[in-house]
Amino acid sequence: MSPLHLCLLLSSGLFCIGLAAALTRGNAILVLLGIELMLNAANLNFIAFWRFGGGPAATGVVFVLFSIAVAAAEAAVGLALVIAVYRHRKNIRLQEVNSLRG
């Protein structure tokens, strides 16, 4: 088993932990953190392929830089939404925030 395999297994594990958290937890902040974990797992794959793959020299690193910047923007907007929901309903349990449900 090559190091690239091990890196891919690590990132698959992180992705699935994030997915399980986003699907099972009811608290909006924990769901957002699960999504952040999934994004991190994707970044980890980029770096793994940059280090052990045979592609061009810097593409993975540049892509991860942009990905981290977009993830930061996403976290800021997501947590602002959580605070806005809390202000309206005094609660951030996703099961109870259902006014948009069709």
Partner 1 sequence: MLFPFLIIACLTLASAAVAMMLRNLIHSALLLVLSWAGIAAFYLWAGAEFIAFAQILVYVGAISMVVLFAVLLTRPSRDVDLPLPAPTVLRIASGLMAAAMVASVLLTAVLATRITGGRSHAPNLTVKDLGALLAGPHAASLLVVGVILTVALLGAIIIAAPAPAERPEDQP
| Rounded Cα–Cα distance for residues 98 and 6 (Å) | 41
Burial of residue 80 (CB within 10 Å: 0-12, 13-18, 19+) is: exposed
**Span 37-66, contacts to partner 1 by CB under 8 A:** 37, 40, 43-44, 47-48, 50-54, 57-58, 61-62, 64-66
What contacts 31, CB < 8 A, 6 or more positions away?
21, 22, 25, 94
For the CB of residue 100, give the shortest distance to partner 1 in the complex, in Å.
15
The residue (of 74 and 102) whose beta carbon lies closer to partner 1 is: 74
Which token pair is 67?
């990905």
**Footprint on this chain of partner 1 (rule: CB under 8 A):** 2-10, 12-21, 23-27, 29-30, 32-34, 36-37, 40, 43-44, 47-48, 50-54, 57-58, 61-62, 64-66, 68-77, 79-84, 86-87, 90-93
